[in-house]
Structure 1
Amino acid sequence: MIDTVLRPARPVPRAGGLSVRTVVLAPAALMLVLGVWGIRRGGTLWGDEAVTYDMAQRSLPEIWRTIASVDAVHGLYYVFMHAVFAVAEPGLVALRLPSVLAMCATAAGVALIGRRLAGPRAGLLAGLVLPLLPVVQRYAQEGRSYALVCALVTGGTLLLLRRRWGAYAAVMLAACLLHEFAVLTLAAHGVSLWWRPAAGRPDVPGAGSRRIPPRGWTAAALGVTAALAPLAVFSTTQSGQVEWISSPKGGQLAAYAALALLGWACALAPGGAAVRAVALPLLVMPPALLLAVSYLHPLFVDRYVLPYVIGLTLLLGAVLDRCWSPVLALASAAAALATLICFGPYLRSPESRKSDVGAVAKVMAEAGRPGDGLLFTPARRRAWTLLRPEAVGHLTDLSLKESRRASDTLYGTELSPAEIRARMLDHDGRLVVVQDLVGQPLDAVEAEEVKREVLRTRFTLCEERTVSEARVGVYARDGDC
């Protein structure tokens, strides 16, 4: 059914004799070049990558015990990176190279999907556009699961078109186990099967007959959902990890609206009904669903729905193919070059990420003197010491009960609020306090409220430095700076 329903709206052209090898390898090669360019990012890590770096070096029993209490949603990724570090020396290249290779596979897969739906040149152009997107270059160089999820969703979309339901279920389940919100792409695939180009009206988005999706896909989708359900239910017990996410803001809504309008404009172009039916739901639905849920419980972060880039590049590739001319070719090349010049160097700099844990640890080491106390508020900012724990070895962590390895946690366990208050009040010397930037959401938990209250009422801020996304301040009792 799907091969006849989602067939190209026009015969697939040879497009100058482009071979499958060219269509696949050219985008993958471009992604590889852009991915390895500046992969070390000045020797820096940001907070989430530091967690991956730490977790991947733990033993499998330690990983298991840790995800039983925190970060279960990333458990499979930590196991995968543990295997990578078992065969490669732990370091920044080993940490990020799997993401680079995953984005190479994504670019190649997007090219294959575009070729199948709109022809060789459309596929090649879609595959070449993907590596040029700044957001793709960003997550191709991060030691997190988002690039791997993109590769698996791309593979799942190919298997959807080929009606290989068993393999489709396995690939999509792997994507969902790497990141639960990949399940939203199942809904997008369902809409692609439900949305049919109308007879005689292939160029009108949404104008068509609605049919029940194939039984094979329904069984696969139900199987994936059922297999994911235990992890999804268990992860709700660790929902405190996402308390830092705030409700959708105007900028996020505007960015989503702009993407949706761009996709719809591409979909309105003549021809390409098959591309439209597959790509537009992938671009629009996962972000829309997560935004809607976020008004009940804030969960929207753009990287959580990164596979939207697959739909975006398929639509752009189809439009470029239909409008192709020498002038457009030159304009596209100029735009690509301008994008690389404007965004490329910045994306590969320490300043491009929320935090530079090495720089934060260095400032902490410089601010503190032997015997000074150390306080992290919120406690999860203890992750900023993961790359260089020795940098703060001369400071006394006043709220720490057990270290991260001893407690099988990401950031260690903390004392009770009463004990934290007592230790802060009993400390006669200075405090080095590591905090988020002003304006960031404050954790509404008792221990953090106690830290802030004692700092405000019993200590005086002597000096403070801002580095990356952190404030490192030196506090003293009774104004004795």
Structure 2
Amino acid sequence: MSSHISTGVRRPYLVWLVPVLWTLSLGMWGLSRQNSVWRDEAATWQVAERSPGEIWHLLGNVDAVHGLYYLLMHLLFEVFGASTTTLRLPSVLAVAVAAGCVALIGRRLAGPWAGLGGGLALGLLPAVQFQLQEGRSYALIAGGAGLSTLLLVSLIAGPGAEDGDGAGSGAGPGRRTGPRWTAYGALVLVCALLNWFSLLILPAHAVTLWWVRARRGVVAPWLLASAAAVAGALPLILFSRTQSGQVSWIPPLTWHMMIGPGVLLAVGALGAWADLAGGPRTGLPARLTAASVGLPLLAVPLLGLAAVSLVQPLFLDRYVLFSMLGLALLIGAALGTAVRALAPRYPRASGALVPVAFAVSAVALLPVALADRSPASRVDDVLAVAGEVSALKRDGDAVLFAPAARRDTALVSPGAFAGLKDIALSRGPAESGTLKGEEADPARISAALREQRRVLLVTDSGKAAKPPGSPADRAKAGVLRAEFTVVEDRQVRGRRVTVYERRG
């Protein structure tokens, strides 16, 4: 069945190498986003510049779920220096690894064109493009998910599985599976330590094992490896639950929030149908297909997160970015089926199908790619407003941040704030083990503010701005309104800096 397909990809290594290089090129294109960094990445940046002891202190109070990622980024900042390249390059490399894994899985389960198409498709998916250049952990998890899924497929399809009567034991003469199961469990654990929502890959893999009717020789070690990974992550899960206030801002799940995931699931279902309609490939268990791997990987994490969000609002698609590997695999499988259908009558057209589909998709999604590489694609830019502060400040001026979380711009760009007095701050972020520091009580802030002649206020701009929420912020706003006059007001990329001078 696959011999006439293979002629279209004469060098098998190109099936994974081309998607890896394509994804790397996508990631390196516009990596700095015009030298912009938004608030989530600013959290990574400022924590990565702390010492390991200071990071450990922080994790006891906030962001424990990101602890391993912060430590990794601290190491990279120490070795390569703090920059947007160091911040984002790990995500680019991780998605490139994921693309290579999708290609290898697709090639094994549905042929070389399916592998090539799926690997190329991953980097084009809008959700992936957004996280491809993001200084957070979600792309790294996608890379780990790709590797663990590739290992699982290799173990299901190991020697003894070729009889077509269900998945084999994964064991055979001269071939030890123990190291691969250990690697599988270790990958799942590392991903869970990066963000424990990644454990939703385990029920997805469980559905695959059920679908292919895996034998006990596969199921038993999978259960053992999975249990070990969950046990290793359990302390983090339990402790991070004590910091659940961090996600209190996530809105409750509504039906309209499921429209996008619903479309993705429909596309994935069509890809699975096309893959199954193309028939099984020789040399594999009858039920081991791209559909049996890709559809659970796409659907189970999305639906699982939605189910959890009915109890506590947690539905953010970036938490399950790795589910996009399933969608890419299914898209590739559909393309592989189309190639097989065309090949008998139109051999030349069949060989051009995947490249043409890829080129058309890349052009169609070019506006998305351009938008994601623009500073406007994120809610704000802490570096841009730091530049405005540097231009507006005078030695001896005071600075205020409202809310206090907007202090991130000073933490990422301390040079821009040199010479300014942060009159609201009582304990710095590193000292207090927080992301934004601890501010003085409203009375002390008001008193300090009344001693100033000139104040710079850094806050949100436009529609993103909210009424003062904390007592400290209300005190800042009250004194500024009553006793100061605005002499300069600039808004740039989601942030605002306003210069106040005392009346009279």
Same fold (TM over 0.5): yes
Mapped to 2, the partners of 1:258 and 1:464 lie a distance apart of 43
User: Are the counterparts in 1 of residues 101 and 146 from structure 2 also a CA contact under 8 Å?
Assistant: yes
User: 1:96, 1:144 → 2: CA distance?
Assistant: 8
Q: Does 1:290 pair with 2:305?
A: yes
Q: How far apart in 1 are the matches of 2:12 and 2:205?
A: 25
> Which residue in 1 is equivalent to 2:126?
134
Q: Which residue does the alignment assign to 1:119?
A: 111
Residue type matched to 2:366 in 1?
Answer: I
Q: Is the 8 A contact 2:42 2:409 kept in 1?
A: yes
Q: Give the superposition deviation at 1:72.
A: 1.5
Distance 1:288 1:77, change over 3 A: same
Corresponding residue for 1:78? 70
* Structure 1 match to 2:257: 252
More off after superposition, 27-36 vs 261-270: 261-270
Match of 2:185 among 147, 157, 169: 169
Aligned to 1:191: 207
Output the CA distance in 2 between the equivalents of 1:251 and 1:375: 38
User: Residues 447-458 of structure 1 correspond to what in structure 2 (within 5 A)?
Assistant: 447=472
Indicate the residue corresponding to 1:265 in structure 2: 270
Q: Which runs of 5+ in 2 are unaligned?
A: 156-179, 280-286, 343-348
- Helix, strand or coil at the partner of 1:471: strand
Match of 2:338 in 1: 323
User: What is the CA distance between 1:52 and its match in structure 2?
Assistant: 2.2
| Between 174-183 and 338-347, the greater mean CA deviation after superposition | 338-347
Query: Which residues of 2 match residues 230-379 of structure 1 at below 5 A?
Result: 230-248=235-253, 251-269=256-274, 270-271=277-278, 274-324=289-339, 325=342, 326=349, 328-329=353-354, 331-339=356-364, 341-379=366-404
CA change 1:420–1:438 in 2 (3 A) is farther
State the partner residue of 2:6.
Answer: 15
Deviations 1:370-428 (A, max 9, x none): 55543323222211223322223343323211222333432222223554455456656
Deviations 1:242-272 (A, max 9, x none): 2332223565322111111111222222236
Offset of residue 453 of structure 1: 6.8
Which is worse superposed, 173-182 or 253-262? 253-262
Separation (CA, whole Å) in 2 of partners of 1:103 and 1:442: 39
CA contact (8 A) 2:464 2:494 kept: no
Q: How far apart are residue 142 of structure 1 and its match?
A: 2.1
Amino acid at match of 2:226: A
- Counterpart check, 1:224 vs 2:229: yes
Which residue of structure 2 lines up, in the alignment, with residue 89 of structure 1? 81
Query: C-alpha deviations, 1:115-140, integer Å up to 9, x for none?
Result: 12112221111111112223323322
- Does structure 2 retain, via aligned residues, the 8 Å contact 1:132–1:339? no
In the alignment, the residues of structure 2 paired with residue 277 and residue 155 of structure 1 have an alpha-carbon distance, to the nearest angstrom, of 17
For 1:363, the aligned partner's letter is: E
Point out the more displaced range, 60-69 or 174-183. Answer: 60-69
TM-score by length of 1: 0.84
Q: Is the 8 A contact 2:124 2:362 kept in 1?
A: no
Give the 5 Å matches for 1:140-155. 140-155=132-147
**TM-score, reference length from structure 2:** 0.81
* Separation in structure 1 between the aligned mates of residue 444 and residue 240 of structure 2, nearest angstrom: 29
Deviation of residue 46 (structure 1)?
1.8
Mean CA deviation greater in 313-322 or 416-425:
416-425
Structure 2 letter corresponding to 1:338: V
Does residue 392 of structure 2 align to residue 385 of structure 1? Answer: no
Contact 2:98 2:146 in 1 (8 A): yes
Change (3 A) 1:383 1:211: same
Contact 1:195 1:210 in 2 (8 A): no
Q: How far apart are 1:84 and its partner, in Å?
A: 2.1
CA distance in 2: counterparts of 1:250 and 1:460, whole angstroms: 46
| CA distance in structure 1 between the partners assigned to 2:496 and 2:247 by the alignment | 21
Contact 1:364 1:432 in 2 (8 A): no
Aligned-pair identity (%): 42
How far off its partner does 1:429 sit?
4.9
Q: In the TM superposition, what whole-angstrom CA distance separates every residue of 1:350-389 from its partner, at most 9, and x where no partner exists?
A: 2222222111212334455555543323222211223322
Could you tell me how far apart the structure 2 residues matched to 1:440 and 1:18 are? 57
* Count of residue pairs the alignment pairs up: 459
Higher mean C-alpha displacement, 396-405 vs 242-251 = 242-251
- Quote the residue 2:50 is aligned against: 58
Deviation digits for residues 134-182 of structure 1 (CA, Å, limit 9, x no counterpart):
3323322222212111110111111222334222111100111111111
Aligned 8 A contact 1:243 1:443 in 2? no
Distance 1:469 1:89 in 2: 27
